[in-house]
Structure 1
């Protein structure tokens, strides 16, 4: 009997947990930008307009926190300068270095317009913000799709799933943040039902996309489906991950369906919002950190051990702390200036 031993070198993860935080917050920010732009054009005092304060708050927090995660992922504070000094238009990362500042500036400008009560400014900025948000959606998805060595990434389904899960997370974050608004700015039951309907529509779109991906893969038209099928057959860890994701997704959709008469219940929107946001975050964790655990060549898995320092747990806690601080600052500012509340409701 001949024994052949295969040795596979272990490589460190190229994309650290900072990338998970960035792509999560970027997805939330683009969804909040689209929602804010839509609400800013409604002047009838309907449920859509009542969603404007929480949409603005979600946009402000995510649009400010997302670039912080990106700069941290670059490992060196001044590394972003190379994107401008040595611009490479064929690199999506380099293109994103131009698109992201524009999006952040437009987001801050629209939030400031709402704060100052300048409705006409908001309506002028909202079309530009929509285009900018869509450009960020395309760039973040294409940045992953461009990695041809990873079949699970190199597919058109990745940008679509990133967009839909990010926008679903926007709904979840809005459910959480509306509880921190002053009473005069709270959306109300009708507006929360509208937000719930938006979440159901996005969940239905995700189911449709997953079904189309599976059917395309069964017909031999999606290498990413073949790669996922290999993970399912060969690695029990991934099998448990996929089953857990399916169960978690079903639970979130079930909570949305049952929420028609329970949105007013104390704590229900908080749990629902956290569940929606967590599902989108976990999807990104599996997509980034889990996929990097699969060797490009050879057999076996690289088991990722998350460090406790700035490149791992401490960094994730820091981003969460930044978001909490931004929410607290915004809530304090709204309480400090009640006149802003009167303008927003008027």
Structure 2
């Protein structure tokens, strides 16, 4: 295992995120306590984004016009949300165990369900190919539901009922899930070789809760983010930790991997290795910190994290979640300071605001 803490003093802010625009600020609204925002999702066409958080209020924003509308969820805080592939439906899950499907046309409730065995849903993923909604709960239960009817298909109780805070599906349409738990273990859940049930295997990755599981494109590996302030590279085939780095950002709530083919990642990686046209473009990793910062890392060809020498004071409080619209060069962040921001990403190192 490699722990790289090499520091680069220069700032590369101008080559990565050019500017930001506040799309939601709950502090300017007539709400009690300035609700924190926990999650953000982007519609398939990139024209609409949604953010949810405390009090069950969901903000839906037209990115082009800036127009916004509010949707009130049945009960609890919004811990995860997803747009349907058709863009006309919005799925939300709350920490009271309530799943809701709403129409984006008139905000009407299409269907809702409360999971009776749940102590609160804290993560979910929507498999549009298989038509399945997977949820993870604080009581350690993982549920699979029909995405249209919300009828339960199966449920799985993790070892010693450890709470599930993050989920990732390596390949859409396949019955294989990775789950990050409150005890720092990442669990791999797969269908048995001859059917008839599921089997699991796990590895201890963090000292404390695992908040995020993010794929590194075309590698079969993921990056995990944890309460201990570390990010780790995990081989999901062998379930082995390949590298780890302490971000020094306090806890890390989310990470995102910018495609190695994206000009931003290629340009920064090129500067890091001393050439403008590296033979193999390296992924740029962004980490969302508990101190409100976003830090950048390069994952080199040997699987080691290298600090890219730049960070942004993105929010006044914890950066809770990322959402990347790679096609339009936009990064969205939500924070416990009650704000959602849209960051415009440079398309090349020489781009101007």
Same fold (TM over 0.5): no
Structure with a larger share of its residues in helix: 1
Q: TM-score, normalised by structure 2?
A: 0.26
* Bigger Rg, which one: 1
Q: TM-score, normalised by structure 1?
A: 0.27
Work out which structure has the larger RCO, using CA pairs closer than 8 Å and 6 or more positions apart in sequence. Answer: 1
